[in-house]
A and B are shown apart, each in its own frame.
Chain A
Amino acid sequence: GAVVSQHPSRVICKSGTSVKIECRSLDFQATTMFWYRQFPKQSLMLMATSNEGSKATYEQGVEKDKFLINHASLTLSTLTVTSAHPEDSSFYICSARAWWLAGGLSTDTQYFGPGTRLTVL
């Protein structure tokens, strides 16, 4: 259970084009999904929080007009990198939040997709 998929796994595009990345929770509903960016040999950097049916919340320093996020259903969130440039080349990873009950407490665990490697030429 708790499987998250991403599509595509790898994309190469020309500078100035837009790229859409899909994140799907396959066997659970996720009211919240998160988008991360990871540079080589570094940790994950949270870009934005995506809530179903509402606008995404972006972290400081992340351009919302450049990284468009849509969370149209309980199982799908998309990240569109608009007018991509070489500096946008990175590994983009999404996660979906699943709720658990443990010892009477409710909390959540994030389940991660396999990532999308974006290369902008």
Chain B
Amino acid sequence: AQSVTQLDSQVPVFEEAPVELRCNYSSSVSVYLFWYVQYPNQGLQLLLKYLSGSTLVKGINGFEAEFNKSQTSFHLRKPSVHISDTAEYFCAVILPSQKLVFGQGTRLTINP
């Protein structure tokens, strides 16, 4: 069965510092992976997705993620965060049934 694990429930960082949000997946078939961001009291916004091709995927707001098949990971990174990046981040994998399976979420808090 396909599943996603986000290893950190909360990540506090200082403004302008780099950040990495970790995501590991389990799957016996080819995967399509996504990162979504949720700001307070809002829906989810797609940050980036990996479908095929280059393992380094660039998304919106300066975020990028690297698909690593050998480590079954899809970690999200940003070299320098801003206060406005404070939000909940969800990693997700899509099943053959086209349903999305989400990780538990990581709350990113940016401190001034």
Binding site for B on A (CB under 8 A): 4, 6, 32, 34, 42-44, 46, 49, 91, 93, 95, 97, 100, 102-103, 105, 107-115, 117
- Given A43-B103, A49-B98, A117-B41, 6 more contacts at CB 8 Å? A44-B44, A46-B100, A93-B43, A93-B44, A103-B52, A115-B41
| A97-B97 Cα distance, complex, nearest whole Å | 12
Q: Mostly helix, strand, loop or mixed at chain A's interface?
A: strand
Partner of B32, one of A93, A107, A114: A107
* Interface pairs (7), CB distance under 8 Å: A6-B43, A42-B104, A102-B53, A103-B53, A110-B100, A111-B46, A115-B42
Known A111-B46, A112-B44, A115-B42; contact A105-B102, beta-carbon cutoff 8 A:
no
Partner of B52, one of A93, A95, A97, A102: A102
Decide: A113 and B43 in contact? CB cutoff 8 A.
Answer: yes
Cβ-defined contact, B32 with A43, below 8 A: no
Kindly list chain B residues whose C-beta atoms are within 8 Å of the C-beta of A109: 34, 46, 49
| Interchain residue pairs A-B with the least CB separation, the first 8 | A112-B44, A112-B43, A102-B51, A114-B43, A103-B52, A115-B43, A43-B102, A113-B43
Closest Cβ of chain A to B87, distance in Å, is: 13
CB of A108 within 8 A of CB of B94, answer yes
Bound-state CA distance A43–B53 (Å) is 29
B12-50 to A contact mask, C-beta < 8 Å, 1/0: 000000000000000000001010100001111110010
B42:A107 contact, CB within 8 angstroms: no
Residues from chain B with a CB closer than 8 A to the CB of A105 are 51-52
Give a binary string over B77-100; 1 marks a CB under 8 Å from any A CB, 0 the rest: 000000000000010001000111
